[in-house]
Amino acid sequence: MSSRRALHFVFKVGNRTETAKFYRDVLGMQILRHEEFEKGCDAACNGPYDGKWSKSMVGYGPEDNHFVVELTYNYGIGSYQMGNDFRGITIQSSNVLASAKQNNYTITQEGSHNVLTSPDGHKFFVEDKQPDGDPVKKVTLASSNLKKSLDYWSNLCDMKIYSQDDKSAMLGYGDNQCKLEFVDIGAKVDHAKAFGRIAFSCPRVQLAEIQEKMKAANQMILTPLISLDTPGKATVEVVILADPDGHEICFVGDEAFRELSQVDPQADKLLNEAIAADKSEEWFQKKGISKAAG
């Protein structure tokens, strides 16, 4: 369905300083937006936490035409237990591997893939070549039953199946958009504490239709259609779902989101200021204790 767009994947991160270095200096992404919040998100964008948190959008270009990453940081949480749900993000770049070497990041191999792992344990598969369009090509998630995953994402979410075999399948909303790949792991999908969320936009009028379609199919709705306010910016409407394996999905009204997601030229400065003002690492070190694990 060409009226829908793949937007971003949400990661919870524990070390904001090292994470920012990785995305900026190694992957070569830019900080597109940065926001600080005093309490948890009504749609649980930062996970099941009620305290102070921040959101940093990072990517290779505006979210209008690039797939980006949302980094959520919960103050006081230093790490999150990883599950087997997230498999990796594939990017094309002719300079990321060189940047990794310059910054002393380890490059590992998985088969023919060059792999970089973020400070929080998220894998990036790097194809060492000049990107064709958006450098972010696909997000790969685990499936416990590929047939169920395909039924859900193609029939209920209206995604086009681009390729499939016995163990994997590739879906998407457009030929030039970031794709969503599922790999059958032959086991239960465990989201642990680090679980993320993938986001898509659709025309606002489709949000209620999506929700009703999921209700009729007895599928999980984590957050029924809700309006989210960002002070001084557009109010967006979202519905949060979960697929048969519990992968969280956000559908957001496209019209308001395009206004909300515009690149903020002050974003880099705002993130740097927030990192500098965050004295939690020093506080925990002085106390001789570690930050809590999520």
How far apart CA 75 and CA 88 sit, in angstroms, is 25
Residue 124 — φ and ψ, nearest 5°? -125, 125
How far apart CA 231 and CA 235 sit, in angstroms, is 9
Q: Which residue has tokens 């829908």?
A: 4
pLDDT for the residue numbered 285: 57
Using DSSP's 3-state secondary structure scheme, residue 143 falls into strand
Contact, 67 vs 8, CB < 8 A? yes
How far apart CA 228 and CA 217 sit, in angstroms, is 26
Taking CA 237 as the corner, what is the angle to CA 236 and CA 242, rounded to the nearest 5 degrees? 125
pLDDT for the residue numbered 134: 96
How far apart CA 7 and CA 236 sit, in angstroms, is 14
pLDDT for the residue numbered 284: 52
User: Quick one: three-class SS letters along 205-274?
Assistant: CHHHHHHHHHHHCCCEEEEEEEEECCCCCCCEEEEEEECCCCCEEEEEEHHHHHHHCCCCCCHHHHHHHH
pLDDT for the residue numbered 1: 54
**Helices H, strands E: what count in the chain?**
7, 18
pLDDT for the residue numbered 286: 53
The pTM score is 0.93
Closest CA to 104 of 120, 94, 113, 116: 116
Closest CA to 221 of 246, 184, 193, 188: 246
| Per-residue pLDDT tens digits of the chain, which is 294 residues long | 579 999 999 999 999 999 999 999 999 999 999 999 888 787 777 777 778 899 999 999 999 999 999 999 999 888 999 999 999 999 999 999 999 999 999 999 998 899 999 999 999 999 999 999 999 999 999 999 999 999 999 999 999 999 999 999 999 999 999 999 999 999 999 999 999 999 999 999 999 999 999 999 999 999 999 988 776 778 899 999 999 999 999 999 999 999 989 999 999 999 999 999 987 666 455 545 556 666
Contact, 160 vs 84, CB < 8 A? no
Query: Cα–Cα distances in Å, from 176 out to 47, 56, 66, 165?
Result: 30, 25, 10, 22
pLDDT for the residue numbered 283: 45
Q: Which domains does the chain have, with CATH numbers?
A: 5-287 (3.10.180.10)
Give strand pairing partners of 37. 53
**168 CB-side CA count, 13 A:** 13
How far apart CA 84 and CA 276 sit, in angstroms, is 33
pLDDT for the residue numbered 291: 60
Q: Which residue has tokens 């997000």?
A: 139
